[in-house]
Amino acid sequence: MDMNQTIALGRDCEVIEVPSGIRRTLAAGASLRIMQSLGGSYTVTDDRGQMFRVDAADADALGLAPADAPETAAILSEQVVWDQLRTVFDPEIPVNLVDLGLIYSCVIAPLDSGGKKIDVKMSITAPGCGMGNVLKSDVESKLAKLPEVKQVNVEIVFDPPWNPGMMSEAAKLQLGLDADYSPSPDPSSFSPGSR
């Protein structure tokens, strides 16, 4: 897939506007450019620069073959859950939610009726971001596909507020930030070159 190539949408397609999170339909023939393809979805822009997320199920509208579903482990473990969380990506930033530092906690517990439940506390990069419920739904659906999982509860929290210093070292490097980057807690204490 050539990321710089402009393509014409092959059919009408439901998309999610980024960052508003509003669902709408783009008409067949719309001119689009694929910006990223991560975690089973596609981030595209139109000729005006508006960004949209296209679900994997609609890959054919982009002229692409649907991606094969990733295999999941036969036994549920904490590592399997964290690996699955790493398959959820922010549509604007080519980094998964775990490495962005957006997953605050993940607890696996047995259910009285059998199977397991997973409780996740996560944040989003900005409180007003319309993609919060979309990302929450992505986490819920991906974790629900794991073996033994009968219930998934995802809560979006804002305490502590997310900041770029919460990203993994790998994410900071991928985004071109210094590995030691940690924003100052007091914006008034920032001076050029002090980061």
Q: CA 182, 186, 187, 190 torsion: positive or negative?
A: negative
pTM of the model: 0.79
Residue 30 has pLDDT above 70, yes or no: yes
Count, residues in the chain: 195
* CATH of the domain spanning 78-174, picked from 3.90.1010.10, 3.40.50.880, 3.40.50.300, 3.30.300.130: 3.30.300.130
* CATH of the domain spanning 6-62, picked from 2.160.10, 1.10.3470, 2.30.30, 2.60.40: 2.30.30
- Helix axes 132-144 and 78-85, enclosed angle (nearest 10): 140
- Backbone φ and ψ for 185, nearest 5 degrees, come out as -70, -25
Closest residue by Cα to residue 157 from 108, 111, 90, 101: 101
What's the pLDDT tens digit per position in 114-136?
A: 999 999 999 998 888 889 999 99
- Give the model's confidence band at 40: pLDDT under 50 very low, under 70 low, under 90 confident, else very high: confident
Element (H, E) at 105: strand 103-110
Q: Is 121 helix (H, G, I), strand (E, B) or coil?
A: strand
- Give the model's confidence band at 66: pLDDT under 50 very low, under 70 low, under 90 confident, else very high: confident
| Tokens found for residue 18 | 């980024």
Domain range list for the chain: 6-62, 78-174
Residue-wise over 43-54: b if at least 16 C-beta within 10 A, else e?
Answer: bbbbeeeebbbb
Contact in structure between 12 and 28 (CB atoms under 8 Å): yes
| Tokens found for residue 161 | 């507020």
